[in-house]
DNA sequence: AGATTGAACGGATTATTGATTATTCAGAAA
DNA sequence: TTTCTGAATAATCAATAATCCGTTCAATCT
């Protein structure tokens, strides 16, 4: 079925052009079909709906992003905390630029996360895998790493939620967000009581 | 002007009844006025608009909540981390019960934070003051406290955003949220590298 | 004079209607 | 038989009309 995959890719490409040019809502299935020299009905043999095409576009993009994050997570010559720092900053900057500056991308993000709430969870899960891989790598290099890596990864995500969907919270500028993220990372790594003087609550 | 304050309180009481029973949108100024035995126009000598009445109700409520938090922040016989823990948990539980269970309260929160974005900032500022007071108290008791208290308070708020507006993020249940908050607090207090083996990023 | 009213204004909200368009499927083409 | 079409359907969206309600203020009362 290499043929089928080629056509799927063609559809994604056509839709991507339309969506990024006119927006998701203003693009009709008929238009995408015409661009692919087929009837609207035929699209449904390749994707089960308009939203699935949008999801495919988002996934293609996000997969590239994940690859990039994976590189940062494994970067040689950097300490664990440095790699965590780079990872979270990359995440913030990507989201910021994608969502604050590009109204088309923002529209698609809103539609997908309203219509397919599970999608956001999938993204978090994928990113968490990278956090765990990062900690495993740190362990291999002989750095200290907490024993419950999966749980720690989850907590890191919890504590940095604000930077993952910055536009939902406030109209903070990127420099302000960066300053805050810097502070939160420091707190996460060292703790409020860095000398270990406090017992856990 | 004790007279004027009495009437203001009467208006707030009448509005509170209506809002909690029928909702903010479905309550008219004329109704509130009738409940107070006055004409709609006269309301405006006491509050400059419907939203200001809603704000007064919210503030009355929130002030009580702040008093409660202040008590937790100063509780004798508890360590600093324990007091922070109690404070953040109280915050989560209050928000959860107020917003997840009571659609009327949720409606009002949405309206106020859309129409008066500064209000949410005011709430964060007030709560931050308490966090700073808490650290000052810890210092007085001879516990270790980071030197930049205001900044640390801000970072604690950043890292616990998810638990301050839980309904915005996900449909997580209270137990799941509590488990997560527990983990985040532990991370915040001790850090990922609790033995101080890592240099700051 | 100062306090209060309630009718009038206009912005917002809802209801109604008429397109537009995502999706389906009976049948045509290959 | 398998692949594809395009008209039919149903759901959604946009435009318009109708209504409602927050707010104001000229007039009335105390």
Interface size, chain A vs chain B, as Cβ–Cβ contacts under 8 Å: 141
Nearest nucleotide to the CA of A27, by C1', is C21
Q: B60 CB contacts (<8 Å, ≥6 apart)? A: B12
Mean pLDDT of B14-38: 96
Q: Of A159, A164, A195, A196, which to mutate for an interface test with B (greatest number of B Cβ within 10 Å)?
A: A159
- Provide the pLDDT for residue B103: 87
Q: Of B147, B150, B191, which to mutate for an interface test with A (greatest number of A Cβ within 10 Å)?
A: B191
The model's pLDDT over B106-160, given as tens digits with 9 standing for 90+, comes to 999 999 999 999 999 999 999 999 999 999 999 999 999 999 999 999 999 999 9
Q: How far apart are the first and last CA of chain A?
A: 57
Q: How many CB atoms lie under 10 A from the CB of residue A91?
A: 19
Fold for A50-190, please state it: Tetracycline Repressor; domain 2 (1.10.357)
The model's pLDDT over A19-63, given as tens digits with 9 standing for 90+, comes to 999 999 999 999 999 999 999 999 999 999 999 999 999 999 999
Which residue of chain A is at minimal alpha-carbon distance from B85? A201
A28 touches strand C (CB under 7 A): yes
- CB-CB neighbors (< 8 A) of A79 in chain B: 198-199, 201
| Average model confidence (pLDDT) across chain B | 92
The model's pLDDT over A92-134, given as tens digits with 9 standing for 90+, comes to 999 999 888 888 999 999 999 999 999 999 999 999 999 999 9
Q: Nucleotides of chain C within 7 Å of a protein C-beta?
A: 3-8, 14, 20-26
- Provide the pLDDT for residue A195: 56
Would the pLDDT of A194 be above 80? no
| Average model confidence (pLDDT) across chain A | 92
Q: Which residue has the higher pLDDT, A119 or B171?
A: A119
The model's pLDDT over A62-87, given as tens digits with 9 standing for 90+, comes to 999 999 999 999 999 999 999 999 99
- Provide the pLDDT for residue A199: 39
Which residue of chain B is at minimal alpha-carbon distance from A142? B197
- CB-CB neighbors (< 8 A) of B180 in chain A: 154-155, 158
Domain B1-48 CATH superfamily: Homeodomain-like (1.10.10.60)
- Provide the pLDDT for residue B201: 36
- CB-CB neighbors (< 8 A) of A195 in chain B: 144, 196
Prediction pTM value:
0.91
B180 → closest Cβ in A84, A158, A198? A158
- Provide the pLDDT for residue B100: 81
CB contact under 8 A, A187 and B151: no
Would the pLDDT of A185 be above 90? yes
Mean pLDDT of A167-195: 87
Nearest nucleotide to the CA of B26, by C1', is D21
Instruction: Give the CA A50 to C1' D4 distance in Å.
Output: 19
| Residue A134 exposure: Cα atoms within 13 Å on the Cβ side | 28
- Provide the pLDDT for residue B192: 82
- What's the gap in Å between the CA of A6 and the closest CA on chain B? 37
Mean pLDDT of A4-8: 90
- Domain positions in chain B are 1-48, 49-190
Which residue of chain B is at minimal alpha-carbon distance from A163? B158
Pull the structure tokens for residue A164. 């993952």
Q: How far apart are the first and last CA of chain B?
A: 58
The model's pLDDT over B44-103, given as tens digits with 9 standing for 90+, comes to 999 999 999 999 999 999 999 999 999 999 999 999 999 999 999 999 999 999 888 888
Model confidence at A18, pLDDT cuts 50, 70, 90, reads: very high
Model confidence at B168, pLDDT cuts 50, 70, 90, reads: confident
Instruction: Give the CA A23 to C1' C28 distance in Å.
Output: 35
Instruction: Give the CA B52 to C1' C2 distance in Å.
Output: 24
Please tell me the distance from the alpha carbon of residue A64 to that of residue A84, in angstroms, as a whole number: 19
**Where is average pLDDT lowest: A123-132, A190-199, B18-27, B85-94?**
A190-199
Mean pLDDT of B2-23: 93
Which residue of chain B is at minimal alpha-carbon distance from A155? B184
Domain B49-190 CATH superfamily: Tetracycline Repressor, domain 2 (1.10.357.10)
Pull the structure tokens for residue A26. 């203003």
Q: What does chain A look like in DSSP terms, one character per residue?
A: -HHHHHHHHHHHHHHHHHHHHH-STT--HHHHHHHTTS-HHHHTTT-SSHHHHHHHHHHHHHHHHHHHHHHHHH-TT--HHHHHHHHHHHHHHHHIIIIII-HHHHHHHHHHHHH-HHHHHHHHHHHHHHHHHHHHHHHHTT----S-HHHHHHHHHHHTHHHHSHHHH----HHHHHHHHHHHHHHHHH-SSTTS-SPP-
A111 touches strand C (CB under 7 A): no
Pull the structure tokens for residue B84. 């922070």
Q: Are A123 and A62 in contact (CB under 8 A)?
A: yes
């Amino acid at each position: 079925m290499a043929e089928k995959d080629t056509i799927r890719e063609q559809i994604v490409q056509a839709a991507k052009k339309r969506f990024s040019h006119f927006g998701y809502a203003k693009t009709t299935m008929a238009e995408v079909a015409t661009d692919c020299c087929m009837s609207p009905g035929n699209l449904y043999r390749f994707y089960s709906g308009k939203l699935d095409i949008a999801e495919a576009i988002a996934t293609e993009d996000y997969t590239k992003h994940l690859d990039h994050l994976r590189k940062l997570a494994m970067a040689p010559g950097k300490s664990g905390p440095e790699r965590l720092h780079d990872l979270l900053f990359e995440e913030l900057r990507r989201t910021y630029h994608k969502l604050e500056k590009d109204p088309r991308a923002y529209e698609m993000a809103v539609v997908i996360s309203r219509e397919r709430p599970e999608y956001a969870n999938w993204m978090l899960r994928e990113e968490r895998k990278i956090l765990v891989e990062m900690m495993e790598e740190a362990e291999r290099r002989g750095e200290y790493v907490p024993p419950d890596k999966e749980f720690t990864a989850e907590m890191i995500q919890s504590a940095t939620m604000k930077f993952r969907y910055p536009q939902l919270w406030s109209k903070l500028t990127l420099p302000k967000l960066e300053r805050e993220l810097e502070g939160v990372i420091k707190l996460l790594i060292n703790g409020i009581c860095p000398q270990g003087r406090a017992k856990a609550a």
